[in-house]
Amino acid sequence: MKEILKIENLRKTFNLSIKQRKLEGTTEKRKIAVDGLSLSAYEGEIYGLLGPNGAGKTTTLRVISTLIKADEGDVFVDGFSVKENPDEVRKIIGFLTSELKMEGFFTPNYLFDFFSELHKVPENIKKTRKELLFKKFGIDKFAEVKVADLSTGMKQKVSLAIALVNDPKIIVFDEPTSGLDVITAKVVTDFLVSLKQEGRTIIISTHIFSLVEKVCDRVGIIIDGKMKASDTLKNIMGEKSLEDAFFDIYEASEGKKL
């Protein structure tokens, strides 16, 4: 099993603006979003980062995708450090989050071409890849419609296609099904499984137990920025349901029963 993603002792803090301090009801000037987190994900697996809101999932994924920098620790993507070689990491990663938006004025066709160009994808490869992905997601019929005019589900599918322009080795997906209707959500989860079957590594974040149970091979339970458990889904669950296993870990870490 090849270790394709390795997070070592990751720590990330944010300065809180006065407005944020009020919002969070704290007087602390700094917020520790991720606190000494480590994990390993292996080739051809889906890794699920499971945790409540504010646990630090998105922050972790943003560090992996080089959007933000860690205070301490490092992330290695196929051996490349996000600190030392962010450009190499950007070449082999595909990042999907509701935070990344597409310019609504452009068409899926144009955006696919544009991002392929930035990733230096050869013309002929781009063409076949576009045909394949557009067909798979049913984007082909909407290829010349402005993104702004597409439905939410279709937008999500277009983002997904565009995240794959560079045929990434590792796909980072923040909350893959959030905000999607049941049908699009199923298309997306089925697609994740098919990507995995092609040998790609996928890391997702979610707070939805059923999604993890359905698609993940390995799970990390993250609470308050700390990794409480990281193991195969089987080992985490043991004889229990994932939900029960999660709350056991949660209550142990908070030191109280819910």
Contact flag: residue 237 with ligand ADP (CB under 6 A):
no
The nearer residue to ligand ADP, 36 or 54, going by C-beta atoms, is: 54
CA 163 to chain centre: 11
Q: Which of 39, 48, 58, 237 binds Mg ion (CB under 5 A)?
A: 58
Tell me how many residues contact ligand ADP (CB under 6 A). Answer: 13
Contact flag: residue 68 with other proteins (CB under 8 A):
yes
Q: Which of 99, 131, 251, 254 binds other proteins (CB under 8 A)?
A: 99
Contacts with other proteins in 119-158 (CB under 8 A)?
119-120
Contact flag: residue 56 with ligand ADP (CB under 6 A):
yes
Who contacts 55 (Cβ-Cβ below 8 Å, separation ≥6)?
222, 223, 224, 225
Cα 163 from Cα 188, distance rounded (Å): 13
Residue 208 interacts with which of other proteins, Mg ion, ligand ADP, none, CB < 5 to 8 Å by class: none
- Footprint on this chain of other proteins (rule: CB under 8 A): 14-15, 17, 20, 65-69, 87-88, 90-91, 93, 95, 99-106, 110, 114-115, 117-120, 162
